[in-house]
Structure 1
Amino acid sequence: MGNREALIEGAKQCLTERGWARTTVRDIATAAGVNHAAIGYHFGSRESLLIHALVEAVEELSATVAERSQGHSHQERWQSLIDTFDTHRPLWMAQLEAAVQAEHSPELRERLADALRQSRQGLGGSVPLAVLSGLMIQWLIDPDEAPDGAQVVVELHAQAEEG
């Protein structure tokens, strides 16, 4: 593994251990086993490296969920996504932190917008993505009261029938 790949892996590790805001250049370099100057050489900035790492980590998670969900019911697919709020909690938290930081970073905003476009396609539209975003926040803050996959499907069907 070259320095560039080691930096991305180190940044993914730091995102899950420390979060977006608390990850420093030194943290990433230490996790990657390289000199911190390599970040500037390969990515230009800490932010650019974190963006690459976050996008790659989310793409890996999305591929895993998609693979596990093939051939399953709507309820099982929703539950598979919901399960990642626990199993990949630090990654979901890092995404929330990144969304806040996007207000001040055009590069981050554009990369997150690209990821949202892909997510809309993968989930079947903007409404399922909006539901997923809301579920994520509920599960990260108040998991005891958040709906499971079965409840999501029942309530979505009920809303569709009313409309």
Structure 2
Amino acid sequence: MGHREDLLEGAKRCLLEKGYARTTARDIVAASGANLASIGYHYGSKDALMRQAIISSTEEWAAGVTRAPAAGDGTEKGDAAPLERFAAVWDAVLQRIVTEREFIAAQVEVLGLLPRDAALREAVGEVLPEGGEGLVAAFEGVPDTEVDPEAARIVGSFYQALLTGLMVQSLLTPDTMPSGQDLATALRRVTAGEVLRRK
């Protein structure tokens, strides 16, 4: 790898170990083996490098989600196959959420910085539609290229909202995390009007 790639890998390590805001240029230099001047040469600034690190880390994590296994082959009749797939993919995603806490913490930290950091908000906003498309593809078991743009916008936003909420919940109350089956049951109850009230 060259200095550019070394810096990015070093920044990604720092993101996990120190977090987004606490990482300094010197931290990245120590983690990458590159020199301080190379950050400006290759990325313009430490902040620009860290933005690239969060985007790259997120893309790598999302690629693992798209390879998540699913129950059945999708050929069953009725509502069972979609809900089984929904539950199975969420189980795989939830497993990663609870075992990759440093990554999740970095993601949640960045969410909190977005309102006050226009450049970070713009960088994350640029890849958000692609993330929604990838989630729809994962849950439907199809390539990204087959996802309808409107489905990516609407259904992708739904999956992203669930994913973001689950990430936050995993840090706040990890012992009460739902399973994929819990989420499928909730979806079925909500859409069927079966949300039960306390007696």
Sort the TM-score into its range (normalised by shorter chain): over 0.9
Whole-angstrom distance in 1 between the partners of 2:126 and 2:94: 22
1:137 maps to 2:155 = no
- The alignment yields a C-alpha RMSD, in angstroms, of 1.7
Shift of 1:119: 2.0
Between the two proteins, what is the percent identity of the paired residues? 37
1:55 maps to 2:55 = yes
Equivalent residue for 1:92, pick from 93, 101, 104: 104
Shift of 1:84: 1.4
The aligned counterpart of 1:78 is 90
The answer for unaligned runs of 5 or more in structure 2 is 73-84, 137-154, 195-199
Whole-angstrom distance in 2 between the partners of 1:95 and 1:162: 33
Paired residue type of 1:8? L
Equivalent residue for 2:158, pick from 114, 118, 127: 127
Note closer, same or farther for the CA distance 1:147–1:70 as it changes in structure 2 (3 Å cut). closer
SS in 2 for 1:22: coil
Whole-angstrom distance in 2 between the partners of 1:45 and 1:110: 16
The aligned counterpart of 2:17 is 17
Whole-angstrom distance in 2 between the partners of 1:68 and 1:146: 19
Whole-angstrom distance in 1 between the partners of 2:98 and 2:119: 29
Whole-angstrom distance in 2 between the partners of 1:116 and 1:57: 14
Whole-angstrom distance in 2 between the partners of 1:55 and 1:71: 30
Shift of 1:146: 1.7
Deviating more after overlay: 23-32 vs 97-106: 97-106
- TM-score, normalised to structure 1, is 0.92
Q: Which has the larger radius of gyration?
A: 2
Shift of 1:71: 6.3
The aligned counterpart of 1:109 is 121
The aligned counterpart of 2:187 is 156
Where does structure 1 differ by over 6 angstroms across 4 or more consecutive aligned residues?
none
| Higher relative contact order (CA closer than 8 Å, sequence separation 6+) | 1
The answer for unaligned runs of 5 or more in structure 1 is none
Deviating more after overlay: 19-28 vs 103-112: 103-112
Shift of 1:86: 2.1
Whole-angstrom distance in 2 between the partners of 1:130 and 1:161: 21
In the alignment of these two chains, the number of paired residues is 163
Whole-angstrom distance in 2 between the partners of 1:118 and 1:70: 21
Whether the 8 Å contact between 1:99 and 1:112 is mirrored in structure 2 is no
The aligned counterpart of 1:39 is 39
Whole-angstrom distance in 2 between the partners of 1:118 and 1:30: 33
Whole-angstrom distance in 1 between the partners of 2:100 and 2:133: 22
Deviations 1:122-143 (A, max 9, x none): 2232112111111111112111
- TM-score, normalised to structure 2, is 0.76
1:28 maps to 2:28 = yes
